Amino acid sequence: VKSIAVLTSGGDSQGMNAALRAVVRSALYNGLDVYGVQRGYQGLINDDLFKMDLRSVGDIIQRGGTILQTARCKEFMTPEGQQRGADVLRARGIDGLVVIGGDGSYQGANKLSKLGIKTMGLPGTIDNDIPFTDFTIGFDTAVSIVVDAINKIRDTMSSHERSSVVEVMGRHCGDIALYAGLASGAETIIVPEVPIDMAEVSERMESNFAKGKRHSIVVVAEGAGRGEDVAREITKGCGLEPRVTVLGHIQRGGTPTAIDRILASRLGDFAVHQLMAGESGKACGIIRGELVTTDIDTVVHSKKPFNMEMYNLALRLSQ
Ligand code: F6P
């Protein structure tokens, strides 16, 4: 491999810039040429590439978002779009591509790999929904943002002896709700992976208030339902009138935590080394602290297991 390209695709996440910096600097350190692709797969189709140097990624390790811009590209879901992407890379003599993104981006990388392009996927999403990695880049920051928000909500709920429903992101995955719920001492965590009995939730809230609790926080993952609907069910069940907060895109912005920057830096460098070693069609991840690769085809056809042990712990501790 002599020349590689890098792109960010799908929803952005904090730490994408840190990953990009690592890919670019590691490639240059090892004597490779490196090209940035603007706006994800759309930019690839449009041949919107530019050569990057050491300074292209200066002053970005601490920035949220992605300096390459990102997009969700429908055209790249078609065989014609994928072929065009592969042709653009070949015409420029680029041998390898690092894709930083979530599951949709991995599907694109998988297709390119089948068209003979050497691809490496880096898990860049706040959702933590990529299998074969314990964590994705951006997840730690998103969880920290949610915990910080719940701390604030709890202050005012406590003063007024109120309950609150906080809706968080995660698409079909409950990890943001689970981790943030455990870290913030939420009373109930509602996730798509675990069925829940709303009558039981209401009963528990009512009895906890009766036992002297001064506030009650319910965290609901967007994949399990809407905050407004959960609040309505609670009112129906026990008469409480929870206030609803939908945190939305605030979870995807801001400066990445040190954990995300370190993960991004390690994975970015690892991806370059994998390409240099001739690997292709792999997703890079971290399992029990070790950097690993898994066939991207396996990753896109698997579902991340849910951590029931942590879910049950959160439930036991939030009495
Ligand atoms: O995948 C990241 C994510 O933020 C999800 O948690 C959420 O469901 C989705 O993207 C929101 O997408 P958009 O920014 O396109 O509204």
Residue 35 CB-half CA count within 13 A: 22
Express each pLDDT in 153-175 by its tens digit.
999 999 999 999 999 999 999 99
Residue 294 Cβ contacting ligand 1 at under 6 Å: no
Tell me the C-alpha distance between 140 and 180, whole Å: 10
127 is in an annotated binding site: yes
Q: Read off the tokens for 189.
A: 């965590």
Ligand 1 pocket check for 9: Cβ under 6 Å: no
Q: Specify the residue with its C-alpha closest to ligand 1, atom 7.
A: 171
The residues facing 66 across adjacent strands are none
| pLDDT value at residue 94 | 98
Q: Is 125 in the pocket of ligand 1 (CB under 6 A)?
A: yes
Is the Cβ atom of 127 under 6 angstroms away from ligand 1? yes
Residue 52 CB burial class (10 angstroms; 0-12, 13-18, ≥19): buried
Nearest CA to ligand 1 atom 9: 171
Q: Going residue by residue through the chain (319 aa), what tens digit of pLDDT does each one get?
A: 999 999 999 999 999 999 999 999 999 999 999 999 999 999 999 999 999 999 999 999 999 999 999 999 999 999 999 999 999 999 999 999 999 999 999 999 999 999 999 999 999 999 999 999 999 999 999 999 999 999 999 999 999 999 999 999 999 999 999 999 999 999 999 999 999 999 999 999 999 899 898 889 999 999 999 999 999 999 999 999 999 999 999 999 999 999 999 999 999 999 999 999 999 999 999 999 999 999 999 999 999 999 999 999 999 998 7
The interface predicted TM-score of the complex, written ipTM, equals 0.98
pLDDT at 174: 98
Helix, strand, coil shares of the chain, percent, nearest 5, are 45, 20, 35
What lies within 8 Å, CB to CB, of 62 at 6+ separation is 255, 256, 261
> What is residue 319's predicted lDDT score, i.e. its pLDDT?
79
Looking at residue 283, what is its pLDDT?
A: 98
> 25 with 17: CB under 8 angstroms?
no
Residues 6+ apart with CB under 8 A from 210: none
Query: Catalytic amino acids?
Result: 127
Q: Which amino acid is at 255?
A: T
Q: CA 291 to CA 285: how far, in whole Å?
A: 6
Q: Which of 141, 252, 304 to mutate to test the pocket of ligand 1 (most atoms within 8 A of CB)?
A: 252
63 is in an annotated binding site: no
Q: What are the E-state strand segments in 230-317?
A: 243-246, 282-287, 290-295
Structure tokens at 123: 């898990």
**Ligand 1 atom at minimal distance to the Cα of residue 223:** 8
Task: Please list the residues that pair with 188 across neighbouring strands.
Answer: 218
